[in-house]
Amino acid sequence: DVQMTQSPPFVSASVGDRVTITCRASQDVSTWVAWYQQMPGKAPKLLMFATSNLQTGVPSRFSGSGSGTEFTLTISGLQAEDFGTYYCQQGDSYPLTFGGGTKVDVK
């Protein structure tokens, strides 16, 4: 199974800050990584697919990069509504696997 390791597990940042979340895959997953945001008590929301493709309706302050085993999600100019837990997920091979999550707190 492909293990997805996210870091950091927790981020506290101010409005306007640049936030970067990293996801490492235990083996090459090409560019088949998606990113989700989950707010407390809610279903996850797809932000990014195939590493760097912004899902329709997602603000352009979100961006993704990487390939192989290293991937990043960047929020350029954190907004108050960006709080929540962010997860990466690989779609290269079964079983599909998620990272452990990064909780983002907006100061």
Q: Do the beta carbons of residue 66 and residue 33 sit within 8 Å?
A: yes
Gyration radius of the chain's alpha carbons: 13
Q: Does residue 54 belong to the site contacting other proteins (CB under 8 A)? A: no
Residue type at 55 in one-letter notation: Q
CA neighbor of 91 nearest in space, from 35, 4, 33: 33
Residue type at 87 in one-letter notation: Y
Smallest separation, CB 53 to other proteins (Å) = 8
Q: Does residue 71 belong to the site contacting other proteins (CB under 8 A)? A: no
Q: Which of 7, 13, 22, 45 binds other proteins (CB under 8 A)?
A: 45
Question: Per CB under 8 A, which region of 13-21, 63-71, 72-80, 81-89 contacts other proteins?
Answer: 81-89
Q: What is the size of the binding site for other proteins (CB under 8 A)?
A: 26
CA neighbor of 104 nearest in space, from 20, 5, 3, 16: 20
Site string for other proteins, 82-101 (x = CB under 8 A): ---x-x-x-xx-xxxxxxxx
Pairing, β 4-7 against β 97-98: unpaired
Binding site for other proteins (CB under 8 A): 1, 32, 34, 36, 38, 43-46, 48-50, 55, 85, 87, 89, 91-92, 94-101
